[in-house]
Amino acid sequence: MRYEPLKSDLYARHRARFTATLKPNSVAFFNSSDIYPTSADGSFPFKQATDILWLSGVDQEESILVLFPNAPKPEQREMLFLVETNDLIARWEGAKLSKDEARALSGIQSIHWLSDFERVLRDVMAHAHHVYLLGHEHIRRNNPVETREDRFGADLRRRFPNHEYERSAPAMNLLRAVKDPEEVAIMQVAADITAAGYGRVMRFLKPGVWEYELEAEFLHEFVRLRSHGFAYTPIIGSGANACVLHYITNDAQVHDGDMVLFDVGAVYGNYACDVTRCFPANGRFTPRQRQVYEAVLRVEKAAMNLLKPGVRLPDYHVQVGELMTEELIGLGLITREDVAHQDPAWPAYKKYFMHGTSHYLGLDVHDYGPWDGSEIKEGMVFTVEPGIYIPEEGLGIRIEDDIVVTKGEPINLTKAIPKEVDEIERIMASGN
């Protein structure tokens, strides 16, 4: 395994927290992701479904986790079903998890091969009253592809229509939002790898290079440090490309005088880092670039200190909007008259800062967590990413860090990545 796995007792604690939310005589099922095809006999690299990963640590396709805390048979209270290695699999793909390896990884003692699943399922369903199924209920999800979880749930409802079906997602979304210290520690590793990538790119960046060359520098450093690569498709936008929020073609040449926006993070142990920095291609900010950059930096620093336990996310975003409004007025981009006559549903600052400031971060880049107006809690991890985008000037600036909420000062996981103007210019001038 490329990364160092977390200890099994973490996954045991996660399962205990989840099963404590279930109704009596309930069974819950969690499935691995599919391996998605491309064309001919190709497929995309496997990426595990993050809920079964959070509960078991098992990073393998075609796995099924069954949690039945009130099962009459103790051996059925926690079960994992896995693909059994055969000679063909071992020869072409490499051996899958053994039962002993799965026990050590997950802390679950009842490990079965998938060939046993139908027999055990009939026994479990005969004793369970409620069945918890996982629907993909992230507020930003917009994907028509049917998942293995979708197919499993539809089949179970068809075969066992008289059970009471419940949703696992509400409890999982709340539980996953608060990170354990072990999770924060592995996210720090992802952040440190990301920082190394940014250090390499700062030494490489100069007028004349291509955006995809910069992408390649990141990938080299990430993989060298035991990351599986990018936590999300990297955004590397020079000049006006930085004003395209999800610019991922990364195929333009960098010119002298350009600012280059890098929204790039590494993944480690399946946990994501999400960082944005902006650097001048020639190593020196122009007066206007510095003016806009420092306005964004002031908003980012102030926003970090607003992320405290007890604060409501909607209130936080309103406060950040007020901070950005003042900065945009100071930059001459909007006027107080614009603000006085703004549409409350789309405030004046949205012309130049049109996205949200923060999202949850963890096993998913846009991780699960409550968006219902409930309070921020200690242990939650958020991005903080204000930006100003001025297409008419060919200038886009976003600065983003990953923040752990604590009772005191927030912890900035990505503080090692330079973002002060003088520090950036010094590093780029010296090459170190």
In Å, what is the CA distance from 340 to each residue of 21, 300, 325?
A: 47, 24, 11
Q: How far apart are CA 36 and CA 47, in angstroms?
A: 10
Handedness of CA 141, 146, 152, 156 (dihedral sign): positive
> Which one from 91, 141, 158, 246 is the annotated catalytic residue?
246
> Which one from 367, 385, 401, 402 is the annotated catalytic residue?
385
> Which one from 215, 217, 263, 364 is the annotated catalytic residue?
263
Strand duo 26-31 + 387-390: pairing: unpaired
Q: Which ranges of 107-253 would DSSP assign to H, the alpha helix?
A: 117-127, 148-159, 169-177, 181-204, 211-224
> Which one from 61, 215, 274, 402 is the annotated catalytic residue?
274
Among this protein's residues, is 385 annotated catalytic? yes
Among this protein's residues, is 91 annotated catalytic? no
Q: How far apart are CA 289 and CA 261, in angstroms?
A: 12
Among this protein's residues, is 355 annotated catalytic? yes
Among this protein's residues, is 246 annotated catalytic? yes
Among this protein's residues, is 136 annotated catalytic? no
> Which one from 15, 77, 176, 398 is the annotated catalytic residue?
398
> Which one from 17, 228, 298, 366 is the annotated catalytic residue?
366
> Which one from 367, 389, 401, 402 is the annotated catalytic residue?
389
Q: How far apart are CA 8 and CA 141, in angstroms?
A: 30
Strand duo 78-82 + 411-412: pairing: unpaired
> Which one from 355, 420, 423, 426 is the annotated catalytic residue?
355
On whether the CB atoms of residues 283 and 429 are closer than 8 A, the answer is yes
> Which one from 34, 51, 221, 400 is the annotated catalytic residue?
400
Among this protein's residues, is 359 annotated catalytic? yes
Among this protein's residues, is 41 annotated catalytic? yes
Among this protein's residues, is 9 annotated catalytic? no
Q: How far apart are CA 396 and CA 352, in angstroms?
A: 9
> Which one from 2, 41, 87, 118 is the annotated catalytic residue?
41
Among this protein's residues, is 263 annotated catalytic? yes
On whether the CB atoms of residues 264 and 218 are closer than 8 A, the answer is yes
Residue 415 phi, psi dihedral angles, 5° rounding:
-65, -20
DSSP string of 248-286?
----PBP-TT-EEEEE--EEETTEE---EEEEETTS---
Residue 136 phi, psi dihedral angles, 5° rounding:
-85, 100
Number of Cβ within a 10 Å radius of residue 45: 8
Residue 96 Cα to chain centre, angstroms: 26
| Active-site amino acid positions | 41, 246, 263, 274, 355, 359, 366, 385, 389, 398, 400
